[in-house]
Structure 1
Amino acid sequence: MEVFVARQPIFNIKKDVVAYELLYRNSRVNSFSGIDGDTATSALITNSLLVLGLDSLTQNKKAFINFTLTHLREETPMLFSKESLVVEILEDVTVDNQLVEICVELKKNGFVIAIDDFTADDINRYIPLYPYIDIIKVDFMKCSPEQQVEIVRELKLFKLLFLAEKVEMEDEFEWAARCGYSLFQGYFFSKPVIVDGKAITPSKMAQFQLLNELSKTEPDVDVLSAITLRDLSLSYKILRLVNSAAFRRTSEIRSIKQALVYLGLRELQKWLSFVIVQDMGADQPDELVWLVLVRAKFGEMMTRVIGCAERESEVFLMGLFSCIDVFFNRPIDEVIAKLPLASDVKDALLGKENFLYWILRTILAYEKGEWDLFYEISGKLKLDKEKATDMYIEAVGWANQIKQDTAKN
């Protein structure tokens, strides 16, 4: 049985990640005779999430998880610790005495409860539940601006937190914050705000020169060392990175030349690129850097199971640069033109359909929990879908390890 699990960040008003919603589904629930959706999803939660451990997906932050009425009746949330979970009540669950009793019991046990996909039409429907609810997740795509304001105004007396979900643009985030929303979910943080785009500074140009040198068939090791030594911060970061636990080294690497010998040209190019992207993202939400790192690793592993392992480094770079327009707040075609990437990688990043484009689209569909789309386009790659979740979980765990190690002083 194919089970897919992804995560979507939930931010506070400072754009710090405070939780993740876990997006999950059995790929073809209805195709298994005798197995209904509740049973399949319960199996996923108990077997997959509990076996994998929430920490590997949420970095010790709370997990928002949808529970059907059957899950709630069976007390499935009680399998998790109250510190790790936010119980989401789905919009199609009938509000009756049984649901009220379930919420009362959850609150007695210290759980945080949220109502999912809330709209203005639901204000009166959930009146019996408000004393036990902590968070209202308002579907911004289904509510007009007037309704988004109305929900907060009508329910503020209940001392609820309001979460704006499906927030896709920066101006939507700013509007929601002004209206009284304190939590935000969506991919607004991964979209560029093109106003006064960042200039590509001399230090960034030096980093691009480094990438260009690395992209040569026979790069000059002395040139590489000279460029990195001119930027002590870059040298420090790349050495700290290659000495991290993620590389499972037994002896310390102390120079860029040594790193080149240990990693090889392709790997050094990849990791110098990561350090450059991390620098570029210094004034962006931290989650953005880790989003592209997961994309990069997920794509790299994907190449090995779809028969193009020889392109793994280029696919890694494609994932790494997939939000480069956000880092610079400039049109992506303008920034991509300056990067030393293969032409088909550039085309894929610009949305031109080729083989690498479909790899990127598969990564994005999985990341967003767009399961039907993922199932459709991954078929173009002949991807063994049963391996997708394992690769994604590994990519997330690996990125978490990099984050942990590079955060150390």
Structure 2
Amino acid sequence: MTASVVSPALPSRLPIASQPIWTTDGRLFGNEFLYRSRDGLPAQVDRWRSDRQDVATASVLEALFGDGPPAATTYAFVNITRSFLVDDRPLPAHAGRLVLEIVESVAADEDVMDGLERLRERGYLIAIDDFAAEPDQVAMMPYADFVKIDCRDVRRQGAALVDLARTHGAQLVAERVSDSLLVEECRAWGFDLLQGDVLGPAITLTA
């Protein structure tokens, strides 16, 4: 096991980064808020133990919503682990602006599906992160307001992946848009929203 897959002891104040999400006509739609390692680099949280992932998620939520719902009129996308979907851990008041991104490690078991229905009834917005047409992801699609797809996967697999993601009417977010050619391709494929370093890299907000 390498050091990169071991979840470290988490400091009391965690570095949080923000990356913008844009409409295809250049308007700011929201930001994804991410946990960072102490040196400000991506922390590979998805490779940590589940309890450490929970702590990282809780820290991002506390940083954003600890003083109540923010006044911003754009959306806050936050990666959410299974514990938050099944009510093992509390979610903040959100004023309709919090988008819960379901990470790809979450299985669509009965408790999770019940949790998605309950959260939608409470007014939370749901996103499926890194959609790759896996069976668990497809099962969750009826609850999704947003589906996020690595645009490089569309290059490899074709536009059928985009068509499938749109089946239940979700808005589609192209992730990892890294150059101007991909921006134009994502527009042609029919994405609604764009996220990637060419449009704005993730910037660390707290350290």
Does residue 1:389 correspond to 2:206, yes or no? yes
> Residue 130 of structure 2: SS of its match in structure 1?
strand
The runs of 5 or more residues in structure 1 that have no matched partner are: 30-34, 191-363, 370-387, 391-409
Q: Which runs of 5+ in 2 are unaligned?
A: 1-10, 44-49
- Per the TM alignment, residue 95 of structure 1 is displaced from its structure 2 partner at its CA by 1.6
**What's the offset of the Cα at 1:134?**
1.3
For 2:193 and 2:199, the matched residues in 1 are separated by: 13
How far has the Cα of 1:50 moved from its partner? 2.4
Larger C-alpha radius of gyration, 1 or 2?
Answer: 1
Q: Is the 8 A contact 1:54 1:60 kept in 2?
A: no
Which of residues 164, 181, 189 in structure 2 aligns to 1:171? 181
For 1:131, the equivalent position in structure 2 comes to 142
TM-score by length of 1: 0.41
- CA–CA distance in 1 between the matches of 2:195 and 2:73? 18
From the two aligned structures, give the one with the greater helix fraction: 1
Distance 1:41 1:156 in 2: 30
Task: Give the distance between the partners of 1:108 and 1:179, measured in 2 at CA.
Answer: 31
The answer to whether the 8 Å contact 1:26/1:40 transfers is no
Superposed CA deviations along residues 357-399 of structure 1, whole A, max 9, x for unmatched, are xxxxxxx7x72x6xxxxxxxxxxxxxxxxxx716xxxxxxxxx
Residues 228-377 of structure 1: matches in 2 within 5 Å?
367=203
TM-score by length of 2: 0.77
Report the identity percentage: 26
Residues 200-257 of structure 1 show CA distances to partners (whole Å, capped at 9, x for unaligned) of xxxxxxxxxxxxxxxxxxxxxxxxxxxxxxxxxxxxxxxxxxxxxxxxxxxxxxxxxx
Structure 1 segments of 4 or more deviating over 6 A?
none
Q: 1:100 aligns with which of 113, 118, 132?
A: 113
Q: CA deviation at 1:74?
A: 3.0
What are the Cα deviations for residues 141-192 of structure 1, in whole angstroms up to 9, with x where unaligned?
4x141525111223433112111001011110111111111111012235xx
Query: When you count strand as a share of all residues, which structure comes out higher?
Result: 2
Match of 2:155 in 1: 145
1:178/1:61 Cα in 2 relative to 1: closer, same or farther (>3 Å)? same
For 1:112 and 1:39, the matched residues in 2 are separated by 19
Q: Distance in 1 between matches of 2:175 and 2:90?
A: 22
Question: How far, CA to CA, are the matches of 1:175 and 1:71 in structure 2?
Answer: 35
Quick check: 1:61–1:84 contact (8 Å CA) kept in 2? yes
Q: 1:97 offset after TM fit, Å?
A: 1.3
The DSSP-based 3-state class of the residue aligned with 1:103 is helix
Partner-residue secondary structure (3-state), 1:176:
helix
Instruction: Give the match's secondary structure for 1:177.
Output: helix
